[in-house]
């Protein structure tokens, strides 16, 4: 049986077309696999980035919480200090009032104690109000 030359040409062209199509499909599949792998890596990197951002945010929030607790503790200590200083001032005033109503033979020691008590009171009041040495100089320089 002999094959007609046009049939041979048709089979050859069909064979080349099939080979070409198979090659194109394989190249497309390889390209798709590469694209899918790159997309999976990108997705993985995005997830890692999200986890890192969440970790940093949680760390920052914990730091802020610790700072707030530290500030509350410092405020509590400042209040306790102010209360103690106020008690000391009250006691100094009581002592000054008691000393000024007392009598001595010369009268001088009572006056000296009263002046010393008032000086202590004024010193404590300036400490509470925040007028520490050097603050006025810094405020006027700024």
Tens of pLDDT along the chain (142 residues) come to 566 778 888 999 999 999 999 999 999 999 999 999 999 999 999 999 999 999 999 999 999 999 999 999 999 999 999 999 999 998 888 888 886 665 444 545 444 556 666 777 777 776 666 554 444 544 454 4
Q: What is the pLDDT of residue 38?
A: 96
Q: What is the pLDDT of residue 36?
A: 96
* Structure tokens belonging to residue 86: 């106020």
Q: What is the DSSP string of 62-94?
A: HHHHHHHHHHHHHHHHHHHHHHHHHHHHHHHHH
Q: What is the pLDDT of residue 7?
A: 85
* Structure tokens belonging to residue 36: 């899918």
- List, in order, residues 6 or more apart from 117 with CB less than 8 Å away: 92, 93, 95, 96, 99
Report the C-alpha gap between 115 and 121 in whole angstroms.
10
Nearest one of 3, 122, 87, 132 to 79, comparing CA atoms = 87
Nearest one of 93, 87, 81 to 119, comparing CA atoms = 93
Q: What is the pTM of this model?
A: 0.43
Any idea which residue has 């997830």 for tokens?
Answer: 47
């Amino acid at each position: 049986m002999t094959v007609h030359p046009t049939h041979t040409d048709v089979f050859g062209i069909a064979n080349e077309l099939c080979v070409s199509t198979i090659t194109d499909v394989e190249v497309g599949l390889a390209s798709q696999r590469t694209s899918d792998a790159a997309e999976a890596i990108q997705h993985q990197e995005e997830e890692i980035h999200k986890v890192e951002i969440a970790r940093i945010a949680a760390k920052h929030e914990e730091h802020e919480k610790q700072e707030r607790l530290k500030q509350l503790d410092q405020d509590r200590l400042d209040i306790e200090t102010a209360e103690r200083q106020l008690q000391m001032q009250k006691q100094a005033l009581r002592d000054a009032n008691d000393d000024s109503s007392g009598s001595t033979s010369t009268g001088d020691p009572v006056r000296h104690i009263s002046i010393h008590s008032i000086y202590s009171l004024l010193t404590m009041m300036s400490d509470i109000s925040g007028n520490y040495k050097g603050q006025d100089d810094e405020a006027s320089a700024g």
